């Protein structure tokens, strides 16, 4: 009689070392600090900098990056959601924090409790914040978001002065700033200048009506580089903090020298040689034209490494470039290491960042994937462990 055999569970020793992750990210916090200082030197001293750390600090890690920026002298941070702002306060961040996304009415109390500055673009949000401020016996600072052409959050520029006047009359609400956002800063100088003209005309109407605007801002990373006239009295660089540029060198004169702060690493987990005519991965999109040594790397689109990079991107292994071959799968990709001497299972593979004298930038992957470097970095999954160097930074006091 056949008996069902039960495989005994493998015991795990208490305190045993955890296995190394198959893929990890290394973040150079001092590079982020140096990038902040370079951007600081790029804009006039009279212009404040709001360092944008939304989207998990563009994939670099929200809290460690915010702490590093604060240590470098940053005194204003930008996040996308109330939840991100609350996390920063819970971590002990003292800088002013602007929530750029529109909140839900029920989040008004959290905004007050966490001393956040809130972007608003409608009357209902303003009323909810006023009610929460009165209940808490405190004042909340808001920045009025003005839509000059983005078609997303914000009040239309034609209606902004009326809304601002109503907001200023609300108890417990202080209008601390007015801002807009470019829709085509990277693709159309004319459209961006038209938006800026709308915004500057609005600011002139504010002044004529005797309405104080506080901080005025329009420039994101592209605007900071491309439109000095849009610096106003605050800029909002995000991508620049992380060492990537939204425009190519030479397009708009000299750019600040930036350092990539993120390295995406893995290891070779499998090697095989395939003969001429055999294919690799789903769909057989790569066919070997010669005996080909294929390395399998446990990084896929579930980690945020885009399927659009299939048969286009490259990795660095042993200081050499290894082209990605076949379709990137959910958990793995394959690359051609035929021409790289001495590759072994366990060899380090760099997908973003530097290895030896070679470097793969987020901008390079963005071109291959026909997207933008923002998506490459911010799309890196939170499941990937981040390692920070140095782990602690000196407190500037």
Residue with structure tokens 């001393």? 115
pLDDT at 249: 58
- Cis peptide before 390, with omega less than 30 degrees from 0? yes
Residue from 182, 312, 240 nearest 60 by CA:
240
Domain residues of the chain, as ranges? Answer: 29-242, 262-360
Q: Cβ distance 297 to 349 under 8 Å?
A: yes
Sign of CA dihedral 168, 172, 178, 183: negative
Q: Cβ distance 85 to 99 under 8 Å?
A: yes
Alpha carbons 223 and 229: distance in angstroms, whole number: 9
Alpha carbons 160 and 141: distance in angstroms, whole number: 17
Q: For domain 262-360, which architecture applies?
A: Beta Barrel (2.40)
Q: Is 279 helix (H, G, I), strand (E, B) or coil?
A: strand
pLDDT at 256: 79
What six digits make up the tokens of 23? 């893929």
Going from the C-alpha of 195 to that of each of 207, 268, 334, the distances in angstroms are 19, 49, 45
Residue from 50, 1, 4 nearest 176 by CA:
50
**Residues identified as active-site:** 54, 282
What's the alpha-carbon Rg for the chain, to the nearest Å?
Answer: 25
Q: Is 270 helix (H, G, I), strand (E, B) or coil?
A: strand
Query: Does the domain made of 29-242 have the CATH classification 3.40.50.300?
Result: no
Write the DSSP string, 68-106.
Answer: HHHHTT--EEEESSHHHHHHHHHTT--SEEEE-SPPPGG
Mean pLDDT by 10 residues, the chain (397 residues): 42 57 97 97 96 98 98 97 98 98 96 98 97 97 98 97 97 98 92 97 98 96 94 97 83 76 98 98 98 99 98 98 99 99 98 97 97 97 95 52
Alpha carbons 305 and 298: distance in angstroms, whole number: 11
Q: For residues 242-269, b (16+ Cβ closer than 10 Å) or e, as one string? A: bbbbbeeeeeeeebbebbbbbbbbbbbb
Cβ neighbourhood burial of 283 (10 Å; 0-12, 13-18, 19+): exposed
Q: Cβ distance 73 to 255 under 8 Å?
A: no
Region of 115 please: left (phi>0), alpha (psi -120 to 50) or beta: left
The per-type count for the chain, helices as H runs and strands as E runs, is 11, 22
Q: Cβ distance 149 to 129 under 8 Å?
A: no
Which residues are CB-contacts of 363 (< 8 A; sequence separation ≥ 6)?
Answer: 244, 245, 248, 373
What six digits make up the tokens of 59? 């994939």
Total Cβ atoms within 10 A of residue 41: 9
Q: For residues 138-157, b (16+ Cβ closer than 10 Å) or e, as one string? A: eebbbbbbbbbbeeebbbeb
């Amino acid at each position: 009689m056949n008996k069902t055999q039960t495989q005994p569970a493998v015991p795990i020793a208490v305190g045993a070392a955890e296995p190394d992750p198959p893929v990890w990210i290394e973040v150079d916090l001092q590079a982020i600090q140096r990038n902040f200082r370079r951007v600081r030197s790029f804009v006039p001293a009279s212009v404040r900098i709001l360092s944008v750390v939304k989207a998990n600090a563009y994939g670099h890690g929200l809290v460690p990056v915010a702490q590093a920026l604060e240590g470098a002298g940053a005194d204003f941070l930008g996040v996308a959601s109330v939840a991100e702002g609350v996390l920063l306060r819970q971590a002990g961040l003292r800088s002013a924090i602007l929530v750029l996304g529109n909140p839900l009415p029920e989040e008004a109390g959290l905004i007050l409790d966490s001393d956040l500055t809130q972007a608003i673009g409608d009357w209902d949000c303003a009323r909810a914040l006023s009610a929460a401020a009165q209940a808490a016996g405190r004042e909340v600072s808001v920045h009025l978001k003005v839509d000059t052409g983005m078609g997303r959050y914000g009040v239309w520029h034609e209606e902004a002065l009326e809304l601002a006047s109503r907001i200023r009359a609300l108890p417990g609400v202080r209008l601390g700033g007015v801002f807009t956002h470019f829709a085509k800063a990277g693709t159309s100088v004319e459209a961006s200048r038209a938006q800026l003209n709308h915004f500057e005309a609005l600011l002139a109407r504010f002044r004529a009506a005797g309405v104080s605007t506080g901080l005025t801002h329009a420039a994101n990373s592209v605007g900071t580089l491309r439109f000095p006239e849009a610096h106003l009295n605050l800029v909002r660089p995000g991508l620049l903090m992380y060492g990537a540029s939204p425009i190519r060198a030479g397009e708009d004169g000299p750019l600040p020298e930036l350092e990539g702060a993120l390295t995406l690493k893995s290891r070779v987990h499998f090697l095989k040689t395939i003969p001429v005519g055999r294919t690799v991965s789903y769909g057989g999109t790569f066919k070997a034209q010669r005996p080909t040594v294929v390395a399998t790397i446990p990084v896929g689109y579930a980690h945020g490494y885009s399927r659009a990079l299939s048969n286009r991107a490259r990795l660095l292994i042993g200081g050499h470039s290894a082209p990605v071959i076949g379709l990137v799968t959910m958990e793995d990709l394959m690359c051609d290491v035929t021409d790289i001497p001495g590759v072994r299972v366990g060899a380090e593979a760099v997908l973003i960042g530097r290895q030896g004298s070679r470097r793969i930038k987020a901008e390079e992957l963005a071109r291959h994937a026909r997207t933008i470097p923002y998506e490459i970095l911010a799309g890196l999954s939170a499941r990937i462990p981040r390692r920070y160097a140095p782990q602690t930074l000196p407190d500037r006091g």
